[in-house]
Amino acid sequence: MSAAKVRMEEDPVEIDTGKVTIVPGTMTEPQCATFCLQDEDHTLGNALRWTLMKNPEVDFASYSIPHPSETRTNVRIQTSDNTTAVDAIFKGLDDLTDICSHVIQTFQAELAKGEFEYYDESAF
Partner 1 sequence: MVAEKKNFKHNDVETLRSRVIVERDRVTSTASTDFPHNYPGVDLAWDFEKFKENFKIKINRLSKTEMEFDMIGVDAAIANAFRRILIAEVPTMAISNVFVMNNTSVVVDEVLAHRLGLIPILADPTKFDFKAKEETPTDLNTIVFRLTAQCKHNPKASSTETDPLKKYIHSSVYSGDLVWDPKGDQAERFKDCPIKPVYDDIVITKLRPGQEVEVEVHCEKGLGQDHAKWSPVATAAYRLMPEILINGEITGEDAVKFQSCFPEGVVDVVVENGVKKAVVVNARKDTVSREVLRHAEFENKVKLTRVRDHFIFTIESVGSIEPQDLLVQAVQVLMDKCAQVKRALQATLQSD
Residues near partner 1 (CB under 8 A): 1, 3-8, 12, 15-17, 19-22, 35, 37, 40-44, 46-47, 49-51, 53-56, 86, 89-90, 93-104, 106-108, 110-111, 115-121
Least distance from C-beta 33 to partner 1, angstroms? 10
Minimum CB separation of residue 86 from partner 1 in Å reads 7
Q: From residue 61, give the alpha-carbon distance in Å to each of 6, 32, 56, 86, 112.
A: 27, 10, 11, 12, 38
Comparing C-alpha atoms, which of 90, 79, 96, 83 is closest to residue 33?
A: 79
Q: Which residues contact 58 (CB under 8 A, 6 or more apart)?
A: 52, 77, 78, 79, 80, 88
> Which C-beta is closer to partner 1: that of 15 or that of 29?
15
Q: Of 66 and 94, which has the nearer Cβ to partner 1?
A: 94
Q: How far is the CB of 49 from partner 1 (least distance, A)?
A: 7
